[in-house]
Amino acid sequence: MNHDDDVLFWISQEEEEATAPVRALEEWTGIRKEQLPPAEMLSDDQVHRLLESLKAMLHAYNWGFVLQIEVPERIQYAGLRDNFSQDAKVKQFHYGFFELCRPGTVHGKCAFGEYCNCLFFDELFSRFEDEDLTPEEERARDLANEIHYLQKKHGDEWTKYYPYHLDPEYDDENGKPYNYGFGDGNDEEEDEDNWWRK
């Protein structure tokens, strides 16, 4: 397929979500959940290697196993294994993502336990409640939320991603938020998203 064909047949994310063929992941990959040994039977190294291979395979099927927060490998493997017998969408134009929580599980009670990604987002969004805040208070809340998110996502490494633009301590002498030196960046981003239109 050449580049022009890509554009001709391109469909929106919503359209593809609604129309993509659905396949049982076990049948599609030829790997059944029961063939994956329980994590307790494996050494740390075996868990690591199996997890890496399964992630690479899922990536190749465009059904990516993507976590938003840092999760120990054993728990990642247990979660992947636990929900492996799921339906996948065969997508060509947009990313498809492995369903992390089993449908119908209470968030936080799935195989990921306290590392449940859905629970993480529930907590994050519950922190964004409508309140009458001054712009300064709102910014302070955004800073607190961002730090909470970064700590969950990056663990001890979180300070590498410190959100200077939200912290008044780092505003410049005119009271403008910290500028990372990228200009406003919006135009560039739009160009990248639209590369396929050209």
Minimum Å gap between C-beta 62 and Zn ion is 22
The residues, any chain, with a CB within 8 Å of residue 91's CB and separated by 6 or more, are 16, 20, 62
How far apart CA 175 and CA 158 sit, in angstroms, is 25
The neighbour count for residue 63, using CB atoms within 10 Å, is 23
The residue count for binding Zn ion (CB under 5 A) is 5
Minimum Å gap between C-beta 50 and Zn ion is 21
The number of CA neighbours under 13 Å toward the Cβ of 100 is: 23
Q: What helix, strand, coil percent values describe the chain, rounded to 5?
A: 55, 5, 40
Residue 112 or 149 with smaller CB distance to Zn ion: 112
Minimum Å gap between C-beta 53 and Zn ion is 23
Minimum Å gap between C-beta 176 and Zn ion is 40
Burial annotation 169-189 (CB, 10 A radius, 16+ → b, else e): eeeeeeeeebeeeeeeeeeee
Residue 121 or 178 with smaller CB distance to Zn ion: 121
Site for Zn ion in 80-119 (CB under 5 A): 101, 110, 112, 116, 118
Site string for Zn ion, 1-40 (x = CB under 5 A): ----------------------------------------
Q: How far is CA 11 from CA 91, 97, 181, in A?
A: 11, 18, 35
Residue 113 or 168 with smaller CB distance to Zn ion: 113
Minimum Å gap between C-beta 123 and Zn ion is 12
Q: Is 71 in the site for Zn ion (CB under 5 A)?
A: no
The residues, any chain, with a CB within 8 Å of residue 21's CB and separated by 6 or more, are 89, 90
Residue 112 or 143 with smaller CB distance to Zn ion: 112
The neighbour count for residue 21, using CB atoms within 10 Å, is 9
Residue 103 or 183 with smaller CB distance to Zn ion: 103
Minimum Å gap between C-beta 115 and Zn ion is 8
Q: Which residues lie near Zn ion (CB under 5 A)?
A: 101, 110, 112, 116, 118
